[in-house]
Amino acid sequence: MGLRTSYAPGTFSWADLASTDQQDAKRFYSGLFGWEARDMPVGDGVFYSIMSADGRVVAAIAPQPQAQRDAGVPSSWQSYVTVTSADEVAQRASAAGGHVHAPPFDVFDAGRMGVIQDPQGAFFMVWEPRLNIGAELVNAPGALCWNELYVPDIDAAQAFYGGVFGWSFTPMEGMGTPYVVISNGERDNGGMLPPPMAGIPPHWLAYFGTEDIDAALATVTGLGGSVKRGPIDIGNGKIGVVADPQGAMFALYDGRFDE
């Protein structure tokens, strides 16, 4: 079980869902993972729902901004990377060819964040923690355990993210599909691979742990979601790619967890 009280800069530390139906999303994920919701007011009638597993904060579910709804943007999970300075990282990302979609701003006294789009179009968030470090539990059933970038040009992605976060990269040998493991210092921090088919835009995919992949995939469909791929045996475990009832994509992992 990966309990956390802090994160090294460059580490994925949080994920939240921007949903077109916040209430139904809470129903779905509570049924799938056993999450409990605590609604935090963040505006006039608007709540940021903090989700917990076994009493530990693991993720959040929020209503999708109206501008995204009007544009027909689907519900989506968003991946956050801890940084020492959100402003400095945003500047590095811009200099490296990325687009600062939302310049860094304070989130009450919890921290400071920015929304960045990499040169190939994938969005990610940077999080400068203050009172809120991010997830209190990772690498466990019902918790964030991996982040994967689907992108056409893996070499270009390595150059961008290596320059922005100082990540290092190790290609996995003997794979039918090119796959690169991301390391942040001495710890594995995610992966990169090409999209499985044409037409899939570059994006970060969040993985959550489960104890039984087959039961979890059946629960996804039973709760109104859909299974896109899986179960797939990856050697050290099994995975599945799924979507919730509002269409937000995420992945499930059943196997050995790092601490």
Task: Write the pLDDT tens digit of every residue in 225-253.
Answer: 999 998 998 888 899 999 999 999 999 99
25 φ, ψ (degrees, to nearest 5): -65, -40
CA distances from 155 to 6, 81, 152, 158, 174 (A): 30, 20, 9, 5, 18
> How far is 96 from 119, CA to CA, in rounded Å?
8
- Going by their DSSP bridges, the two strands 2-3 and 12-19 should be labelled as unpaired
Confidence band for 89, pLDDT divided at 50, 70 and 90: very high
Reference 107, options 138, 88, 133, 72; nearest CA is 133
The pTM (predicted TM-score) of the whole model is: 0.95
Does 1-259 carry CATH code 2.60.40.10? no
pLDDT at 1: 59
Reference 17, options 56, 41, 51; nearest CA is 51
Provide the residue ranges of all domains of the chain, joining segments of one domain with +.
1-259
For residues 250 and 205, the answer to whether their CB atoms sit within 8 Å is: yes
pLDDT at 230: 84
Beta bridge partners of 147: 206
pLDDT at 187: 92
Confidence band for 67, pLDDT divided at 50, 70 and 90: confident
pLDDT at 113: 97
For residues 13 and 209, the answer to whether their CB atoms sit within 8 Å is: no
> How far is 251 from 209, CA to CA, in rounded Å?
9
What is the DSSP-derived secondary structure letter of residue 201? P
Task: Write the pLDDT tens digit of every residue in 175-211.
Answer: 778 899 999 999 999 999 999 888 889 999 999 999 9
Where would I find the H helices in the chain?
22-33, 66-70, 86-95, 154-165, 213-222
Residue type for position 176: G
> How far is 19 from 2, CA to CA, in rounded Å?
27
Tell me what the mean pLDDT of segment 115-135 comes to: 97
